[in-house]
Structure 1
Amino acid sequence: MRGFGRRLVRSWRVGILTPGMLLGWEMVAGLFALVRWCGQRPGWSVGLVLAAVALIVAIAGQFTQLARLFTGTPMPDWQTSWLLVWRYKWHWLVVEFCVAILALPLGSWGLSSRILVRLPLAANWVNFVSLHRRPVVLVAALIYLLLAGYLLLWGPRHFQRLTPQLKRPGTMGQMAGGLLICGLLTFGWWAIGEGLVRLNAVVGSKASPQLARLLLVASLAGVLILFAVTSILGVLTVVWSWCGQPELSLMPAFGEGHRRWWPIIGGVVCLGLAGAIVQQTMTQRPQFATTALISHRGVDHAWGVQNTIAALRHVSREHPTYVEMDLHETKDHRWVVLHDENLQALAARNVTPHQLTLRQLERLTVHENGQSTQLAGWPAYLRAAERLNQPLMVELKTTPKDSAGMAKRFAQQYGPRLIRDHDVVHSLDYRVVAQLRCREPQLKVGYILPFNWVAPQSVPADFYSFQQISASQQFIVAAHQMGVPAYIWTPDSRAKMTRMWALGADGQITNELRRLRAVTQQSPQRQGWAVLQNFIYSY
């Protein structure tokens, strides 16, 4: 094990300190930072495109340099590397495209969110993925694992085509060990970052705002620099596991004609870009915006049975901005207030709303949180909300058994009434969103995204309900550029609520309404730790 560690550390030293290599890493890190800085706001710009192209070329050049170094091929200057990059340009494009795919889940809230928020797709494609999200995610995960395993364990065979001088690729054991080291490096970076989050939380709650802000700036810079170092060491580890130990005797050949002050200039430029990213993070907008308080399924702190009139009456005392609730169509083409498609969990009946009439459903007793009450029909629930003067956020659920024209009929029967009551409607089915917006233009209709993976402009709506796991500021800003609010579902812990508040969400749909109110009444200056944690998650 000691021999393994010594060889690995020596490969790191060679891959970084060999003249010319340090400047290359600085170039890659600087361009990566520039892409992130230019990609803060949705949309495309000349600067972003040029920075992205330059980053792709720089990565290919650096990998070529690295491969020649680790395989013991003398190289007098960089010109040879650029010629090799151009000769194998299509291979490199394929390799970097595959690497980009593998990187998407690892930065779903960061660099990749800056890519996905610019991804335009047809609305029917987006809707298909949303409605079939479980099988789609399962297939995507399987493809991802196969691609990751193939590239990481068989990468040297493809690498050999790009670097013909590679004659002795690493063993499977060495490659597996390299992947383990990469995992440990990443875990170490994350652990240090989370330690800084805890430190900022303590200092922010007790120290002066000026000291808390200074610590936050230092923490952001430290996390960013440590991420760059961790990434470089991880790349060196993977290449070392592929190629074996570098030839130390050839190191001087890489320094001919190289000026020592260039790496210093590169380091200064990288630090400047890091400072720009930290400043951008500290001043980003929106941040800690006024937040709508929305009760998920009409409950608060597990009191009452979800989606029932009794729970509505109880939660309305907290005066939420909206009470979010769910509707299913019944056998007689009316609507019942219910989330699940099956009544097994709440009523111990293995039936669906489409098998019973509204009158039959209203006779059922539902149980949850140690309480019982009658299942609510939509007409009765709406009348109760109107008597309480409580605005609703209605989720209109769809199934393959819904009647033809269900959404249009709903708009015709209830659209004017919902508009008068200042209620809003949203759905996971974009067909419903489009039909309601067309039928009742004055009715606010939103689209629910189970995960954020496409430009919101692809599915125009009056507001968006983003899933909190993959929520990022880029998607919130994209919604604001369209002039519509962005709500987040369903953060329940104080930490998650504070993080979503720090992202600038216009509202949060939660099961813990009083907790959310308490969170948003805190001083934003004391919540710098949430900005730091969002920054960590962005990588």
Structure 2
Amino acid sequence: MREEWRQLRQSWRRGLTSPGLLRGWGLLILEFNGLRLLATRPGWSVALVMVLVATLVTSAVQLTQLALTLANVPVSDRRVSYRLVTQHWMTWCGVLVAVVILTVPWGLWGLSSRLLVRLPVPTGWVNFVGLNRRPVLVVAAVIYFLIAGVVLLRGPHYFRRLTPQLTQPGSVWQMLTGLVMGGGLTLLWLTASELLVGANVWVGHLGKMNHLAVASGSLWLILMGFTLVAILTVITIIWSWTGQQPQRARYYRRPLWRLVVMTSIVGLAVVGQTVTQTPQFTTTALISHRGVDHHQAVQNSITALRLIHRQRPTYVEMDLHETKDHQWVVLHDENLQVLAKKRVTPHQLTLHQLQRLTLREDGHQAKLAGWPAYLRTAERLHQRLLVEIKTTPQDSRGMTRRFAQQYGQRLVHDHSSVHSLDYRVVRQLREAVPGLSVGYITPFNWVAPNAVPADFYSFQRISMSQQFLAAAHSTGAPAYVWTPDSHAAMTRVWALGADGQITNELTRLRAVTQQNPAANWWAVIQNFILSYI
């Protein structure tokens, strides 16, 4: 282990300072951060495509040069090696594709959201993934680990084909060691970054310092640390593939100050864009999820609606299921086992039968609400609703069109809105009731919003980013986020500039949005960190 650690430190030194590699790292830093800046605006541009192609080419050249350097390939033999790389270009492309696939879930060096938000996926595919998200995620996880296993077990073999001068390709154990070391470096960076977030929280409470200056300095340090960790991690992985090669007695000791200066200047540009981007800390709609606030009543009940209305939310979000007699009942889960202790679904009972059931939750109880009674109550209170239409394979033919005919114009008159996880509902309602505001709910954010046109979007919080907000706004559509419930999550979403938050803690959300934005720059920093992981 001590010998491996010594060789790894030597590989770091050579990988950073060898001729050509130092310039290559500088160019890659410039290109990656250029992509981050250019990708701030939605859509594609000539400059963005050119920088993207240049980044891919530079990455291929840099990784090849790094592998040859760590494998101790003499300069005189490198023409042959480059010729082999050209001959095995499909193998090399496969390696790059595998690296991209494996790093997309982990931020893709800060470019993940910027890439995904531009994916032009057909509407049918998006809807299939959204409606079958659990099995799709399982299949995606299996494919991911298969690719990771191939890279782990076969990576050194593929590298041997590209660099036959290797005397002893890396073993699986060395590959695992490299992955653990890379993960450790990332964890070290993440820990230091979170300490800076904590420092900014403390500065925000003091109220006597320049919050923007402290936040800018923290962002710069985080970016510099990430750049160093990313380079060392790449060198570590290549080292694990090349194996423990005989080390030369002479090492390059080129100064790093040029790279440090250039990285610092580029970092200042990224920091400047981060602290000046808009929207941030904007006015946000307060939306009660399922009509509750801190477990004060049974979700989706008329009692909860009356109670939450006293707090004047922008919308009360609630859920509808079709019943056996083709009516609608206000219910979130398809099965009533949790709330009514009965293993039945709305499609097995009529509306009248369902309204006789008693629901119990958090020490409260209420009758299951039918949609006609719930809507009448909301109209008497002049409370706007955000109606989520749930769909199942048991739904009747023409369900959405009947809903549009019976309730579309009433909801338009009430200034209420409708959204759904099923894009077929969104499309049909927009066609049937042009004046009705209809939105699409994303179970996770992975494609361009314009692939599923809607009047607004309800984005899932965990995979939310500034790019998806900007993409929605570029189409003129508001963007709501569900369901931030903690103080920290609400503040981060507020810092992103979401148009509204759908939450189970309405009182807490109101208090968050009444804070002084200057004291919450820590949330901007936290969002910046999360964009890289």
Tell me the TM-score range normalised by the shorter chain.
Answer: over 0.9
Would you say the 8 A contact 1:464–1:479 is kept in 2?
Answer: yes
Partner of 1:323: 316
- 5 Å-filtered alignment, 1:228-267, equals 228-249=227-248, 265-267=258-260
Q: Is the 8 A contact 1:14 1:248 kept in 2?
A: no
Task: Give the one of 332, 339, 352 matched to 2:332.
Answer: 339
Residues in 2 aligned to 1:76 and 1:496: alpha-carbon distance in whole angstroms: 56
Instruction: Name the structure 1 match of 2:373.
Output: 380
Give me the whole-angstrom Cα distance separating, in 2, the residues matched to 1:285 and 1:78.
48
Deviation at 1:27, TM superposition (A): 1.6
CA distance in 2, matches of 1:424, 1:206: 42
| 3-state DSSP of counterpart to 1:487 | strand
Distance 1:467 1:320 in 2: 20
Quote the offset at 1:76 in angstroms.
Answer: 5.7
User: Residue 74 of structure 2 aligns to a residue in which SS?
Assistant: coil
Q: SS at the partner of 1:167?
A: coil
Segment drifting more, 156-165 vs 368-377: 156-165
Q: What secondary structure does 2:75 align onto?
A: coil
Equivalents in 2 of 1:108, 1:371: separation in Å? 46
Which amino acid in structure 2 is aligned with residue 131 of structure 1?
L
Alignment correspondent of 2:222: 223
Name stretches of at least 5 consecutive residues in structure 1 with no aligned partner: none
Matched residues, number: 532
Q: Is 1:502–2:495 an aligned residue pair?
A: yes
Report the secondary structure of 1:508's partner residue. Answer: strand
1:183 CA drift (Å): 1.1
1:92 Cα deviation after fit: 2.4
Match of 2:431 among 438, 444, 454: 438
Give the structure 2 partner of residue 269 of structure 1.
262
Q: CA deviation at 1:110?
A: 4.0
Deviations 1:183-202 (A, max 9, x none): 11111011001110000110
Distance 1:215 1:485 in 2: 31
Partner of 2:74: 74
Q: State how 1:77-96 maps to structure 2 within 5 Å.
A: 86-96=86-96
CA distance in 2, matches of 1:213, 1:448: 34
- 8 Å Cα contact 1:462-1:484 kept in structure 2: yes
1:22 equivalent in structure 2? 22
1:36-435 to 2 correspondences below 5 Å: 36-75=36-75, 86-107=86-107, 110-208=110-208, 210=210, 212-249=211-248, 265-435=258-428
Q: Deviations over 1:129-174 (max 9, x none)?
A: 0000000000001110111121133211111222222231122222
CA deviations over 1:321-372 (Å, ceiling 9, x no partner)? 0000000000110000000101110001110001111011000000001011
Identity %: 58
Equivalents in 2 of 1:247, 1:58: separation in Å? 28
- Contact 1:492/1:510 (8 A) holds in 2: yes
SS in 2 for 1:445: strand
SS at match of 1:241: helix
Shift in CA distance, 266/10, structure 1 to aligned 2, threshold 3 Å = closer
* Between 373-382 and 6-15, the greater mean CA deviation after superposition: 6-15
Contact 1:323–1:390 (CA under 8 A) maintained in structure 2: yes
Q: Flag the 1:82–1:236 CA change in 2: closer, same or farther, 3 A.
A: same
Q: 1: CA distance between counterparts of 2:432 and 2:493?
A: 33
Q: Aligned ranges for residues 446-485 of structure 1 at < 5 Å? A: 446-485=439-478
Return the offset for 1:267.
Answer: 4.3
Deviates more, 1:408-417 or 1:172-181: 172-181
- Mapped contact 1:361–1:375 kept (Cα < 8 A): yes
Q: Secondary structure at the match of 1:290?
A: coil
Q: Identify unmatched segments of 5+ residues in structure 2.
A: none
For 1:163 and 1:502, the matched residues in 2 are separated by 48
Cα distance, 1:214–1:83 mapped onto 2, change above 3 Å: farther
Contact 1:60 1:85 in 2 (8 A): no
Q: Deviations over 1:431-471 (max 9, x none)?
A: 00000000001000000000001111110000000000000
Alpha-carbon distance in structure 2 between the residues aligned to 1:174 and 1:49? 37
Deviation >4 Å, runs of 4+: 76-87, 263-267
* Separation (CA, whole Å) in 1 of partners of 2:312 and 2:153: 57
How far 1:285 moved relative to its partner? Answer: 1.1
**Secondary structure at the counterpart of residue 249 of structure 1:** coil
Partners of 1:146 and 1:501 in 2: CA distance: 38
Q: Distance in 1 between matches of 2:110 and 2:306?
A: 41
Partner Cα distance (1:81, 1:344) in 2:
65
Contact between 1:197 and 1:532, CA under 8 Å: does it hold in 2?
A: yes
The aligned amino acid for 2:154 is: W
| Structure 2 CA distance for partners of 1:329 and 1:214, relative to 1, 3 Å | same
Checking the alignment, whether the CA contact within 8 Å between 1:11 and 1:245 is kept in structure 2 is no
**1:61–1:82 contact (8 Å) kept in structure 2:** no
Q: CA RMSD in A?
A: 1.9
Distance 2:262 2:81 in 1: 23
